[in-house]
């Protein structure tokens, strides 16, 4: 169960200015990752979990469900829990905290939002190192596999 009040309270203590989400979707022991459009001024061309910013009036879990649908067209069936997140900065956001969720989704085809992502892959845990991404996201992807019970070689 996601404890919204404790997430927000800790974020305030840690001077977090914005909240974001990452969503781990597994299918046949593979994790869904999406590639940011190359033209994006923040991490363009890099692979990541689907997700994004939480609107000020939203609960964190609501933001996660909305972002997954907006970015992939997938609808969450069940939120299974959270796994280790991280903090980061962008040129316009001094301190962002990403809360990561693991979910199951209803059957459906992936439809990417073309202004944000231009490709997707289903990767195994051994495929993480081949992705063009940063160290923080590589660790996040490893944590998704660990938390889902797949371990790491």
pLDDT of residue 151: 62
Domain ranges of the chain: 4-147
Per cent of the chain over pLDDT 70 is 95
Please check whether residue 46 is in contact with residue 133, taking contact to mean a CB–CB distance below 8 angstroms.
yes
pLDDT of residue 148: 86
Cβ contacts of residue 11 below 8 Å, gap of 6+?
A: 19, 97
Q: Which CATH superfamily is domain 4-147 in?
A: Nucleoside Triphosphate Pyrophosphohydrolase (3.90.79.10)
| pLDDT, mean of residues 47-73 | 96
Can you give the pTM of this predicted structure? Answer: 0.91
DSSP track, 73-130: ---EEEEEEEEEEEEE--SS-S-EEEEEEEEEE-S------TTTEEEEEEE-GGGGGG
pLDDT of residue 64: 97
Please check whether residue 122 is in contact with residue 31, taking contact to mean a CB–CB distance below 8 angstroms.
yes
pLDDT of residue 2: 72
What is the band of 153 on the pLDDT scale with cuts at 50, 70, 90? very low
Convert the pLDDT of each residue in 78-127 to its tens digit: 999 999 999 999 888 999 999 999 999 999 999 999 999 999 999 999 99
Q: What separation, in Å, do the N-terminal and C-terminal C-alpha atoms of the chain show? A: 29
- Of the candidates 124, 1, 23, the one whose C-alpha atom is nearest the C-alpha of residue 74 is 23
């Amino acid at each position: 169960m996601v404890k919204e009040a404790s997430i927000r309270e800790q974020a305030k203590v840690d001077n977090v200015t914005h909240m974001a989400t990452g969503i781990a979707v597994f299918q046949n022991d593979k994790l869904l990752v999406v590639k940011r459009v190359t033209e994006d001024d923040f991490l363009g061309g890099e692979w990541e979990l689907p997700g994004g910013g939480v609107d000020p009036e939203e609960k964190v879990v609501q933001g996660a469900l909305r972002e997954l649908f907006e970015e992939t067209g997938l609808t969450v069936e069940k939120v299974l829990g959270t796994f280790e997140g991280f903090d980061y900065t962008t040129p316009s956001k001094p301190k962002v905290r990403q809360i990561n969720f693991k979910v199951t989704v209803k059957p459906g085809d992936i439809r990417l939002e073309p202004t944000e992502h231009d490709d997707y892959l289903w990767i195994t845990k051994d495929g993480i190192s081949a992705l063009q991404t940063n160290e923080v996201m590589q660790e996040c992807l490893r944590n998704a596999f660990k938390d889902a019970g797949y371990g790491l070689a």
